[in-house]
Amino acid sequence: MPVFDFTHTPDEKKPAECTYTVFYSNEQHPTADNPLMVLERLEEGSCHHPVGLITNPIKKTAFEYTGQNGTVSANILKMDARFVGLFKWLGESHIKVRLTGENREEGYVVYKVREVGFGGGTKLSAEDGFLQFMIERLLASDAPADIEESDDEEDGDNMKLTSLQSIVDFMNCAGRTLPDNVRLWARRNLAVARSTEVTAEERRHAQRALSMMMNIQWKSNYFEAIDPKEARRILDEELYGMEPVKQRIIETIIQINRTHTLPAYGILLVGPAGTGKSQIAYAVARILRLPWTTLDMSSINDAEQLTGSSRIYANAKAGIIMEAFAMAESSNLVFIINELDKASSGKGNGNPADVLLTLLDNLGFTDNYIECRIPTVGVYPIATANDKENISAPLMSRFAVIDIPDYTFEEKKIIFSKFSLPKVLKRMSMKAEECIVTDEALDAIVRRYDNTTGIRDLEQAAEHLAAHALYEIEANQAKKVEYTVDMVKELLS
């Protein structure tokens, strides 16, 4: 059991005692029913927003505040295991805080903590908003398996850990809520960043790597249930037809709801260009409520672009995959890998396809610049390809393959009239009655692109017709434009 000792008293005959027990919670929204900690009941009349210090008067871990009859000390009875490091650090740093809570039978339940700014007083960290940043991060973390024994409200949403002091503060507060390997890696890199025995370049690289890693929210692989009806609504909103594809995605959602973990295999969407593969990938990311990033394999010619370069080089930097984690600020995200069939055609050093295997195996990914194994159990890969014959067998085995067929003639007509043209008209602030396409003209448009796959050409045709109609309305004062077969053939020839 951890012990708070904030007095640094030299009296070894009076060892500090811990007055509280810890409880384990994964609640992300603290309330009076799900508090951060519980104190002894406070004096009536001073218990709504008490201001004071977390302290240790000789033996007892307590909260010291100003009551109606002077300074009062209330022992801490219970504490959320995730916040042990933070409250210990607040006490050691003598940071004045304002609590929000209420008296109940079991004691004073605290569900909000704010730093109290006062002129010339101790500041919590080198960065503004650090306390709220820490609370939000710890609330989003899982309760640690065990507690580490070791030596107006600001918004934390835009907080970034860049200065060395804020990184140190974060590490002290986060404690065991960080993955064990990340925590040990951070300690080693912090020693390098502080060392006077290494070059300034090495210190700069260590601090930069620490900033990237500490700004990532390290989450577990537990996923909340997803409403299948809402998932279906999103798919129908984004895609027309493709019932087998939608069914396969809904099956994946049902699997996640049963296991509360991501499937062992990602999705590989294979089909002709322009059939909406990327749109499906974005829809799945939206359904999973995860940040997403894209890897365009056609533009990656060197494995080092994915894995980063070693710190021995002056211009060293992290790879694209690590930068994606840093930009998402989360270890759980969707990787949309476009044109996977071009992953084996690298022209530089190494094979980019081999690098992808380490990302897809859920065993952890290591970047050459960071030099730490990144947990990948929360990564969901969705790949697209035009020709699966060009994908290596090891890569194929990491995906559940979904074939995307090309659209039929009738489907293309519906997509043009119900989706593509209305979308363009809305973007141009035009009414549907200002740009009319007859049934015969619609047939002519679709036949015009009968030899091309997908619907990109149809979308460009809708853009062309709408722009022409807008010109006629604005320049020639036309009330509307109704397109016939001859007009369509002339415009799209």
For position 345, which CATH number holds?
A: 3.40.50.300
Does a structural domain hold residue 223? no
Q: Determine whether 221 is exposed, middle or buried from the number of CB atoms within 10 Å of its CB (0-12, 13-18, 19+).
A: middle
Instruction: State residue 185 phi and psi, 5-degree precision.
Output: -60, -40
Instruction: State residue 104 phi and psi, 5-degree precision.
Output: -135, 180
Q: Distance (Å, rounded) from C-alpha 343 to C-alpha 359?
A: 14
Based on the fold, state whether residues 473 and 383 are members of the same structural domain. Answer: no
270, 278 contact by CB (below 8 A): no
Based on the fold, state whether residues 355 and 398 are members of the same structural domain. Answer: yes
301, 346 contact by CB (below 8 A): yes
In sequence order, the 6+-apart residues with CB closer than 8 A to the CB of 462 are 416, 420, 421, 423, 424
Based on the fold, state whether residues 385 and 488 are members of the same structural domain. Answer: no
Q: Distance (Å, rounded) from C-alpha 185 to C-alpha 330?
A: 18
Does a structural domain hold residue 453? yes
Q: Distance (Å, rounded) from C-alpha 213 to C-alpha 356?
A: 20
Quick: pLDDT tens for 335-381.
Answer: 999 888 887 655 556 678 888 888 888 778 889 999 998 888 888 99
Does a structural domain hold residue 215? no
Instruction: Take residue 376 and report the two structure tokens written for it.
Output: 């990948």
In which residue ranges of the chain is pLDDT below 70? 1-17, 45-47, 56-60, 117-128, 145-160, 344-350
pLDDT of residue 185: 92
pLDDT of residue 89: 81
Give the end-to-end CA distance of the chain in Å, rounded to a whole number: 80
Based on the fold, state whether residues 248 and 333 are members of the same structural domain. Answer: yes
DSSP single-letter state for residue 48:
S
Does a structural domain hold residue 337? yes
Q: Distance (Å, rounded) from C-alpha 278 to C-alpha 203?
A: 41
118 three-state secondary structure: coil
pLDDT of residue 419: 85
Q: Which domain holds residue 435?
A: 409-492
Based on the fold, state whether residues 297 and 359 are members of the same structural domain. Answer: yes
Does a structural domain hold residue 52? yes
pLDDT of residue 17: 65
Based on the fold, state whether residues 394 and 332 are members of the same structural domain. Answer: yes
Based on the fold, state whether residues 365 and 272 are members of the same structural domain. Answer: yes
Based on the fold, state whether residues 423 and 364 are members of the same structural domain. Answer: no
Does a structural domain hold residue 164? no
Based on the fold, state whether residues 332 and 462 are members of the same structural domain. Answer: no
In sequence order, the 6+-apart residues with CB closer than 8 A to the CB of 420 are 455, 458, 459, 462
388 three-state secondary structure: helix
155 three-state secondary structure: coil
Out of 369, 403, 437, a domain closes at 403
CATH code (residue 434) = 1.10.8.60
Does a structural domain hold residue 195? no
Total domain count for the chain?
3
Which of 310, 232, 223, 240 is closest to 279 using CA atoms?
A: 240
Instruction: Take residue 122 and report the two structure tokens written for it.
Output: 């101790």
pLDDT of residue 347: 57
Does a structural domain hold residue 206? no
Question: Length of the chain, please?
Answer: 493
Q: Distance (Å, rounded) from C-alpha 417 to C-alpha 156?
A: 46
Based on the fold, state whether residues 296 and 378 are members of the same structural domain. Answer: yes
Based on the fold, state whether residues 295 and 365 are members of the same structural domain. Answer: yes
Out of 403, 419, 454, a domain closes at 403
pLDDT of residue 191: 92
Which of 284, 206, 201, 214 is closest to 249 using CA atoms?
A: 284
Instruction: State residue 277 phi and psi, 5-degree precision.
Output: -65, -45
Strand partners, 293: 335
Out of 380, 403, 426, a domain closes at 403
Based on the fold, state whether residues 238 and 373 are members of the same structural domain. Answer: yes
Q: Distance (Å, rounded) from C-alpha 448 to C-alpha 445?
A: 5
Residue 85 exposure: Cα atoms within 13 Å on the Cβ side: 25
390 three-state secondary structure: helix
Classify each residue of 305-326 as buried b or exposed e, where b means 16 or more C-beta atoms within 10 Å of its C-beta. Answer: bbbbbebeeeebebbbbbbbbb
In sequence order, the 6+-apart residues with CB closer than 8 A to the CB of 69 are none
